[in-house]
Amino acid sequence: MEGIKKISQMLNESKYAVVFTGSGISAESGIPTFRGVDGLWKKYNPEEVASIYGFKRNPSAFWEFAKELILKSNAEPNPAHYAIAELEREGVVKAVITQNIDMLHQRAGSRRVLELHGSMNYVDCLDCEAVYEWEYIAKILKERQPVCEKCGGEFLKPRVVFFGEPLSYDVLTSAMEEARKADLFLVIGSSLVVYPAASLPEIAKKSGAKLALINLEPVEKDFIFDVVVYGKAGEVMKKVLEEFKKLRG
């Protein structure tokens, strides 16, 4: 409880808080993590289902993976997503930087979201450049692998960053700038092992920000944080928001 109160105090004192999230925040929404005990990489080979090379060899492997990642979960935002969105409405959180592609932050009400790895919101045909919205593709995916209705091509690729592809320069640059501007950098549900995203807390710290971590299990970089709270993101953030409201009266 002490750590929760400390994070609430830090948020109350902050003028420019930035939140950084990984797959751990969405685990409570039913979306599997990648590197956890029961992570998806224990079941799938990332080179086959999540690399640009694997996709171009066999796009159906990606879509089978996507069904488990997105469709089977019937994911909805959880209390952590809603708490972050409310802190944004309060004027405390200025930006959310996420490694997730699930769009749950936006559905919870967050407006300033930087998606480092893209999202499933739009799907492009690599053959004819036709564009489809995710809701349309999701309906098809429940029955079969989607193909382009305009050209018949099977290479329909969501706007996510696959292994072997660079992050969006504009998004990464904006994320780094937000990290530099932050006086509080709050990491939620990330193992901090995927670079360059994992360097953002260090950039914030070098620029003078306080660092806080909420994660289910320890990470290698625990030592750089001012406050660390182990627990489920939704449960912890719900309590953080309650304590924050008490401080705000």
Active-site annotation holder among 94, 117, 221, 232: 117
Provide the β-strand partners of residue 63. none
To the question of whether residue 48 is assigned a binding role by annotation, the answer is no
| Cβ neighbour number for residue 154 with a 10 Å cutoff | 16
Q: What whole-number distance in Å separates Cα of residue 90 and Cα of residue 164?
A: 39
To the question of whether residue 13 is assigned a binding role by annotation, the answer is no
To the question of whether residue 148 is assigned a binding role by annotation, the answer is yes
To the question of whether residue 128 is assigned a binding role by annotation, the answer is yes
Tokens, residue 26: 């969405």
Planar angle of CA 55, 58, 59, nearest 5 degrees: 60
Tokens, residue 47: 């080179």
To the question of whether residue 76 is assigned a binding role by annotation, the answer is no
To the question of whether residue 86 is assigned a binding role by annotation, the answer is no
Tokens, residue 9: 């105090």
Tokens, residue 57: 């060899």
To the question of whether residue 125 is assigned a binding role by annotation, the answer is yes
C-alpha 234: how far from its chain's center?
A: 14
User: In 67-133, where does DSSP find H-type helix?
Assistant: 79-89, 104-108
To the question of whether residue 106 is assigned a binding role by annotation, the answer is no
HSE-up of residue 88 (Cα within 13 Å, Cβ side): 20
To the question of whether residue 151 is assigned a binding role by annotation, the answer is yes
| Under 8 Å between Cβ of 167 and 117 | yes
To the question of whether residue 116 is assigned a binding role by annotation, the answer is no
To the question of whether residue 58 is assigned a binding role by annotation, the answer is no
To the question of whether residue 102 is assigned a binding role by annotation, the answer is yes
User: Strands 113-115, 93-98: parallel, antiparallel or unpaired by DSSP?
Assistant: parallel
Report CA-CA distances (Å) from 229 to 10, 15, 134, 191: 14, 22, 35, 14
To the question of whether residue 101 is assigned a binding role by annotation, the answer is yes
Tokens, residue 142: 């429940």
**Is residue 117 annotated as a catalytic residue, yes or no?**
yes
Q: Which residues are annotated as a binding site?
A: 99-102, 125, 128, 148, 151, 189-191, 215-217, 233
Binding positions for NAD(+) are 99-102, 189-191, 215-217, 233
Residues belonging to the active site: 117
Annotated binding site for Zn(2+): 125, 128, 148, 151
